Amino acid sequence: MINRILRFGLIFILLILLQVLLFNNIQFSGYVNPYIYIMFILLLPVEMPAWLLLILSFSTGLIIDFASGTPGMHTSATVLAGFVRPYVLRITSPRDGYEPGADPSMMIYGVRWFLVYASIIVVIHHLTLFYLEVFRFDDFFRTLLRVILSSVFSISFIALLEYIRKGK
Amino acid sequence: MRNLLNFLAKYNHLIIFIILEGIAIYLLGTANNYHNTRFVKGFRGLTAGIEKRVSNTRSYFHLREISQSLSRENALLRAKTEQFSQKDDQVFFSVADTIRHQHYNYTSAEVVNNSVNRQKNFFTINKGRMQGISVNMAVISDDRVAGVIVGCSNNFSVAMSVLNLDFRLSARLKSNGYFGSLSWDGKDYRTAILSEIPQHVTFGIGDTVETTSYSAIFPEGIVIGTVSGFEKSGGDFYTIKVSLATEFRKLRFITVIGNLMREEQLELENQYQ
């Protein structure tokens, strides 16, 4: 148990550092801003109670917000992602359900499952985030394009990271 | 209570979600300048519609005060233009003459009592001696002749309306300057009679009739009405029907005009009569 907490703590710190130090500085043409810290929410144990998930989402978002100077923006998006995660897990659940105590990882449930699961949450998160960022519906499609492109990149990076993690 | 607890237990994640999301949005709204502005703008857009209605209604109820203040301002402006419009054609004037530019004084007031259906109609206005009104001042409404002040108390004045058998006013045809005497025949509250216009004068229906300054009451050039008909009467004069420009039935905000030089003029004139 302590071991698991430590492991998630490590993942948490690594993801936040990656996000803040690396991905926040990546900007291809203004349309692509990958946010990979959401991966932390993806990786939390399946059976984690909803309230704890929400509080962890909130803290994650808050830390990213303070690191990137946008109070509330990432927090809202991440809390929403944490809120929908149990529902997404339910609709993407494999035929024989989740094993008790399992992490939702690519290792256990396969690449396809992980991509579907990650995509839904990442897209929800990015939609919220980017529309909160512009905070208006002018340039609706421009923002939507940003959401789509950034989501593609985020999902790719998350899958890559998950793949590396799987290799460990 | 138990149900409430059950409810809370069942939907705890939803409640926590709402609380946390609320905090996040709050942060978003307060800590970011841009979002804050957008929020304020959004709410303003929402409330602007309501506020507009409220203020429309409110301004409707305030119309009375607004028009009062407007008519006050009008009187003030008129007094000002009076100061400027007196042409500075005097070369010599007394140093002590502080009103040499000003011939007339304007005060706005409101009609508080009015009648049009008697043979001798008067109306009462809400300003009197204390506000500088005195007998024999002219009363106009919207730049049209309304009457003459005939009596003052401290805070009210009674004016003789044009619609009074005793009312006499020196009036002229604007088109050619011939003047006559205007009176009311007691028949129709929209029509007065202009007499003493000689028959060799040509004029037409619709010609404007305006005041002269001969009476030393009205300034010259204030509209009385328009010619609506005429007939030859007896000797050498026309009897002209003048359709009055003033709406006596809805007389409300009026301006009282005092001739600052009336006494002087009359005094001088009396010496030679």
The better pLDDT of the pair A64, A95 is held by A64
The partner residue sitting opposite A51, judged by closest CB among B16, B24, B26, is B16
Three-state SS sequence of chain A:
CHHHHHHHHHHHHHHHHHHHHHHHHCCECCCECCCCCCHHHHHCCCCCCHHHHHHHHHHHHHHHHHHHCCCCHHHHHHHHHHHHHHHHHHHCCCCCCCCCCCCCCHHHHCHHHHHHHHHHHHHHHHHHHHHHHHCCCCCHHHHHHHHHHHHHHHHHHHHHHHHHHHHC
Question: In this complex, do B12 and A70 lie within 8 Å of one another by their Cβ atoms?
Answer: no
Minimum Cα–Cα distance from A81: chain B residue: B17
* DSSP secondary structure letters along B114-128: E--SSSEEEEEES--
Model pLDDT, residue B69: 80
A32 touching B, CB under 8 A?
no
pLDDT (mean) for A30-40: 86
Contact B181, B198 (CB under 8 A): no
User: How many residue contacts between A and B have a Cβ separation below 8 Å?
Assistant: 63
A50 neighbourhood in chain B, CB within 8 Å:
12-13, 16
The partner residue sitting opposite B28, judged by closest CB among A53, A55, A73, is A73
B16 neighbourhood in chain A, CB within 8 Å:
50-51, 54-55
C-alpha torsion B73→B78→B79→B81, nearest 10: 130
A56 touching B, CB under 8 A?
no
Regions of chain B where pLDDT drops below 70: 83-101
Question: In this complex, do B27 and A54 lie within 8 Å of one another by their Cβ atoms?
Answer: no
Q: How confident is the model at residue A102 (pLDDT cuts 50, 70, 90)?
A: confident
Question: In this complex, do B21 and A132 lie within 8 Å of one another by their Cβ atoms?
Answer: no
A12-25 pLDDT per residue, tens:
999 988 888 888 87
Nearest CA distance, B9 vs chain A (angstrom): 11
B20 neighbourhood in chain A, CB within 8 Å:
54-55, 57-58, 75, 79
A65 touching B, CB under 8 A?
yes
How many other C-beta atoms lie within 10 A of the C-beta of residue A147? 20
B16-56 pLDDT per residue, tens:
888 888 888 888 878 777 777 777 777 777 777 777 788 78
Question: In this complex, do B29 and A135 lie within 8 Å of one another by their Cβ atoms?
Answer: no
How many other C-beta atoms lie within 10 A of the C-beta of residue B228? 17
Model pLDDT, residue B94: 65
Contact B110, B126 (CB under 8 A): yes
Question: In this complex, do B16 and A70 lie within 8 Å of one another by their Cβ atoms?
Answer: no
Model pLDDT, residue B234: 73
Model pLDDT, residue B28: 82
Contact B127, B107 (CB under 8 A): yes
Token digits of residue A116? 């579907």
Q: Which residues pair with A94 in a beta bridge?
A: none
Give the list of residues 6+ apart from residue B250 with CB closer than 8 angstroms, or none: none
For B140, how many CA atoms within 13 A lie in the half-sphere containing its CB?
Answer: 26
A73 touching B, CB under 8 A?
yes
Question: In this complex, do B31 and A75 lie within 8 Å of one another by their Cβ atoms?
Answer: no
Model pLDDT, residue B87: 56
Give the list of residues 6+ apart from residue B205 with CB closer than 8 angstroms, or none: B227, B228, B229, B230
Q: How confident is the model at residue A140 (pLDDT cuts 50, 70, 90)?
A: confident
Answer yes or no: is pLDDT of A136 > 60.
Answer: yes
Model pLDDT, residue A101: 75
Minimum Cα–Cα distance from B10: chain A residue: A50
pLDDT (mean) for A36-43: 91
Question: In this complex, do B27 and A72 lie within 8 Å of one another by their Cβ atoms?
Answer: yes
If interface means Cβ-Cβ distance under 8 Å, which residues of chain B face chain A?
A: 12-13, 16-17, 20-21, 23-29, 31-32, 34-35, 38
C-alpha torsion A93→A94→A99→A105, nearest 10: -80
Model pLDDT, residue A151: 93
Question: In this complex, do A76 and B25 lie within 8 Å of one another by their Cβ atoms?
Answer: yes
The partner residue sitting opposite A51, judged by closest CB among B13, B27, B31, is B13
Helix B12-31 to helix A73-91 angle (10° resolution) is: 150
Model pLDDT, residue B90: 59
* Percentage of chain A exceeding pLDDT 70: 96
Q: Burial of B131 by CB count in 10 Å (0-12 exposed, 13-18 middle, 19+ buried)?
A: middle
